[in-house]
Amino acid sequence: MEIADRFPLLKFGTVLSAASVLLACWYQYQSQSQHQYQTSSVRDTELDERLELVLSSLLRAEGKVGMEGAARPRVAVGFGGCVDIVVDGIMLLEKMGVHPSKQPFHHDFIETSEQLAQSFAYFFPPGAASERYVKNDTLFSQLVEASRLLPGSRWSVGGNAPVMAGRMAIEGCDVLLGVSATPDFTGVLSQHITVAGNTVEKPDIHLILEYHSGAEWGQYTSKRANRYIIHSDNHNPYLASMYDFEQKLQDFQPDLLVIGGLQMMDNFPFKQGERKALLRHLSRLLSSTNPITGVHFEMASFVDEGLLAELLEVVMAHADSLGMNEQELPNLLSLLRGGIVTVLSDPTPRVATVLDQMRELYRLVNKRRTGIPGTRPLTRLHVHTLAFQAIAVARGSVWKNTMSAAAKASLTASRHVCGSAQIDPNKAKLIMDESFSISQQEGSQRIPLLENRPVSCWEEDDYEICVAPVLVCTEVYQTAGGGDNISAAGLVLQI
Ligand SMILES: *[C@@H]1O[C@H](CO)[C@@H](O)[C@H](O)[C@H]1NC(C)=O
Ligand SMILES: CC(=O)N[C@H]1CO[C@H](CO)[C@@H](O)[C@@H]1O
């Protein structure tokens, strides 16, 4: 049960503070763009040169670690997969006769078209990504049917695990992928990916309702481009591929094991005890993993506190490495601090804010795990945001090349969102400031962003932190799947 239903005031508070954060960002953005506008004519050439220099320096940093000649790293990735149908969200809602609701509301799952209208009205104006389970087969089938016929709709292989697996195969790894797949699905995967899992007749389908910045839906206008995802998975929540994956894992002997896609369990109507049994099984699988195999867990958008708390205890506790975005970091941290998940956070946080949150997460997670048998200390934390990449790695741990990994993660973000392997500085901007403070604490050190050495790395306590600016794509091709491509690209250079 959603905690806000039990404490209505708390929820109001959360929404209120999220709204004021968003408002603050909006003003900051407004004044920044005005500032840019006034000075742009004078600085155009200077700015272009600066972006080109940052780009060439990032490329140099990425290229410092060559994979040529080395044996292909072996990576196992689970779980789940789906077919994504990407549509224009507003067009789909209009076609379905789902009218803008006057009562925006954040529902944990969707049962009626009225709830869909309320939920969409909640996330669309701020432009916050979200993902919801539809607990009504009739409604979901109607939405899928309508999407098929919608002009401009496109299909692709989706799901966190297949996207990460795909990226790693492209980057030179041999991959074992845990997924319940149809023969068609398996057919389109890279030859370097081996599928482990049961065969299914009908794939799970995810509907990706995309909208651009400034899109209008009745009285609502979106502040930034993003997506609202709905699904009604039958296979993914049961982690059905886990058993075959587990068996093949013995022989595969991966250098790295990556777990993601567990948000498909969020708010799924399991029978009593079913979810717990599945997670117990996964927990045993992880705790019996060879200690020389690194374990990475990729966070996602979770709203079910019970699930997230359980994951923290039985799944994440076995991971040496965690990956997440700027929404998922405060969400997990908030749970670690005292137990409430956050639904909306600042979509463009400052470096200092994120680094402070990372330090706290690192400390709290390691404190919880100390002395508990079967758990591993957290030695790597990667946070991907729109403006920058930040990776913290424990000194003396197995993770290598943190500087190059941060550069590669940053370049992958630009490549993915612009939809092109070549990055065009004319389609990019830097939104990170010319220098950043490493903490919000007064008197903290400031680090300048140097164009010829854009990735900054330094040591603190028992870990090293690297921060790389992102050349933010201004002509968006695709945002969905971004986090998975970025996280996977960063990991490849660190194993
Ligand atoms: C499920 O959706 C259908 C179609 O929109 C609707 O007619 C029906 O009332 C919904 N069922 C429930 C239980 O809300
Ligand atoms: C544009 C880009 O690089 N995105 C990629 C994310 O990863 C998948 C592979 O799983 C590619 O197909 C996408 O092109």
Query: Which of 377, 278, 387, 280 has its CA nearest to residue 322?
Result: 377
Is residue 13 over pLDDT 60?
no
| Residue 356 CA: distances (Å) to CA of 243, 323, 447, 460, 465 | 39, 16, 15, 12, 12
Strand runs (DSSP E) across 212-361, as ranges? 216-217, 220-221, 226-231, 256-259, 294-298, 321-325
Instruction: Give the residue, by CA position, lying nearest to ligand 2 atom 6.
Output: 485
130 contacts 346 by C-beta, under 8 angstroms: no
**What is the 427 CA–ligand 2 centroid distance (Å)?**
19
Cα separation, 273 vs 310, in Å, equals: 13
At residue 41, the pLDDT reads: 44
Is residue 280 over pLDDT 90?
yes
**Residue range 374-396: mean pLDDT, rounded:** 95
- The pTM for the full model equals 0.86
Strand runs (DSSP E) across 242-349, as ranges? 256-259, 294-298, 321-325
**Partners of 464 in the β-ladder:** 393, 459
Q: Give the ligand 2 atom nearest the CA of 481.
A: 6
Is residue 401 over pLDDT 50?
yes
Cα separation, 1 vs 414, in Å, equals: 38
Q: Give the ligand 1 atom nearest the CA of 113.
A: 5
Is residue 235 over pLDDT 80?
yes
User: How high is the mean pLDDT of the chain?
Assistant: 88
At residue 42, the pLDDT reads: 46
Q: Tell me the pairing of strands 205-211 and 456-460.
A: unpaired
What pLDDT, in 10s, does the model give residues 424-436?
Answer: 999 999 989 899 9
Question: Which residues have C-beta atoms less than 6 Å from ligand 2?
Answer: 163, 166-167, 415-416, 419, 481, 485
Ligand nearest to the CA of 166: 2
**What is the 228 CA–ligand 2 centroid distance (Å)?**
20
Cα separation, 402 vs 412, in Å, equals: 15
74 contacts 174 by C-beta, under 8 angstroms: yes
Q: Which residue has the tokens 């741990």?
A: 397
Q: Which residue has the higher pLDDT, 294 or 129?
A: 294
**What is the 478 CA–ligand 2 centroid distance (Å)?**
10
From 155, 164, 167, give the residue whose CB has the most ligand 2 atoms within 8 Å, as the site to mutate: 167
**Residue range 432-458: mean pLDDT, rounded:** 95
Helix (H, G, I), strand (E, B) or coil at 458: strand
Q: What is the number of alpha carbons within 13 Å of residue 226 lying toward its C-beta? A: 18
110 contacts 132 by C-beta, under 8 angstroms: yes
| Residue 494 CA: distances (Å) to CA of 53, 66, 381 | 25, 12, 12
**What is the 462 CA–ligand 1 centroid distance (Å)?**
55
454 contacts 58 by C-beta, under 8 angstroms: yes
At residue 45, the pLDDT reads: 76
**What is the 167 CA–ligand 2 centroid distance (Å)?**
6
Q: Give the ligand 2 atom nearest the CA of 477.
A: 1
Question: Which residues have C-beta atoms less than 6 Å from ligand 1?
Answer: 111-113, 136, 138-139
Q: Which residue has the higher pLDDT, 455 or 108?
A: 455
At residue 473, the pLDDT reads: 87
53-63 burial code (b ≥16 CB/10 A, e <16): ebbebbeebbe
Is residue 272 over pLDDT 70?
yes
**Residue range 381-389: mean pLDDT, rounded:** 95
372 pLDDT band, cuts 50/70/90, is: confident
From 93, 109, 112, 230, give the residue whose CB has the most ligand 1 atoms within 8 Å, as the site to mutate: 112
Cα separation, 77 vs 160, in Å, equals: 9
